[in-house]
Amino acid sequence: MADYAIFELGDVVLQSRQTIRGAQLAYKTYGTLNAAKDNVIVYPTWYSGQHYENEWLIGPGKALDPEQYFIIVPNMFGNGLSSSPSNTPAPFNGPRFPKVTAYDNVMQQHRLVTEKFGIERIKLVTGWSMGALQTFHWGALFPDMVERILPFQGSAKCSRHNFVFLEGVKAALQADAAFADGFYTAPPQRGLRAAARVYAGWGLSQTFYRSEGDLRRLGYASLEDFLVGFWEGWLLAKDANNLLAMLWTWQNGDISNNPLYGGDYAKALGAIKAKAIVMPASTDLYFPPEDSAIEVSHMPNAELRIVETDWGHFAGGPGTSPDDIAVLDAALKELLAA
């Protein structure tokens, strides 16, 4: 039995002028919406992640405490639970699934929050990686609704270097003839495994790999054990077209590419009224702190807080680095109390 709910969106016309017909937004909530409807946290998902893969930050005693807050985790389009290449009926399935932007995602999440729950104020939006991309969008698209944001290890716009890194992942996956331009009948294993090996160098830092201790703690006896068990295992469990759909969303992420801001990046960031803590990781190879500093320089109410860590992009990530998550959790508590 599914542990999540579906919000029926009807036919959704996207920025790409394509349509998701009978679009579905899968979500899960944690805790109870209070009578004043003022205890709401929105916590979007990351690249490839589904709602249950966001749960490492949620729990009693943590900042995202379901005994205190009503936490909504909306699944990103393309992640296999909300409308995706893998679950959409023909002819819009597989490689013909429409192109979806972060703007599209957040506009539909806003409908869930307002139409389904009647919520008018959000105490906090937070998210990791592509979840941070959506977090920035929430702040800029609904500045009078969102009180606080804490995007961690992510950006408001896909940088050119980040775009290039993703080109490598995409090209490795698509180099497999079994991918068949997306019309595969069985998973393109070789391509998925190649994409995972490309990703492996980016996901964690040089320093992380230099020391062998953390690999052992994670339960891997060697580098090869880690590359197969952790990285290839991650992407083999995913649908290739879903991964490419979300990759497109990532590469085309841009807080200002929408009717409100017309491509004016500084204006979009400047419009965020929420009190913000922007938390890059010191060793993140695709969201380097320099990019976050540029973002914060345009935001009227934001603090740049760099997490000093060897864990690269996985600092606040999905439960692997407890020390960094403690730092993140403390920042979330501080921001929620402000």
Active site residues: 129, 284, 313
Of positions 4, 52, 202, 234, contacts a copy of itself by CB under 8 A: 202
- Which of 17/210 has CB closer to a copy of itself? 210
Residue 177 binds a copy of itself, judged by CB under 8 A? yes
Q: Are 131 and 50 in contact (CB under 8 A)?
A: no
Residue 47 binds a copy of itself, judged by CB under 8 A? no
Residue 201 binds a copy of itself, judged by CB under 8 A? yes
- The two structure tokens encoding residue 301: 């109410």
Residue 184 binds a copy of itself, judged by CB under 8 A? no
Residue 253 binds a copy of itself, judged by CB under 8 A? no
Coil/strand/helix, residue 114: helix
- Which of 54/155 has CB closer to a copy of itself? 155
- Total residues binding a copy of itself (CB under 8 A): 41
- The two structure tokens encoding residue 307: 């997490």
Residue 236 binds a copy of itself, judged by CB under 8 A? no
- Which of 27/199 has CB closer to a copy of itself? 199
Q: Are 312 and 205 in contact (CB under 8 A)?
A: yes
Q: Are 313 and 284 in contact (CB under 8 A)?
A: yes
| HSE (side-chain half, CA atoms, 13 Å) at 43 | 25
Residue 181 binds a copy of itself, judged by CB under 8 A? no
Of positions 197, 267, 298, 333, contacts a copy of itself by CB under 8 A: 197
- What's the Cα-to-Cα distance from 201 to each of 54, 100, 187, 205, 309, rounded to whole Å? 23, 27, 23, 8, 16
Of positions 56, 163, 220, 265, contacts a copy of itself by CB under 8 A: 163
Of positions 27, 47, 77, 199, contacts a copy of itself by CB under 8 A: 199
Name the amino acid, one letter, at 160.
R
Stretch that binds a copy of itself, among 32-40, 101-109, 185-193, 295-303 (CB under 8 A): 185-193
- What's the Cα-to-Cα distance from 79 to each of 163, 199, 270, 313, rounded to whole Å? 19, 18, 30, 20
**Closest alpha carbon to 217 in 208, 98, 312, 271:** 208
Residue 214 binds a copy of itself, judged by CB under 8 A? no
- Total length of the chain: 338
State the residues that interact with a copy of itself by CB under 8 A.
159-161, 163-165, 167-168, 170-178, 190-191, 193-194, 197-202, 205-210, 212, 223, 227, 285-286, 288, 290-291
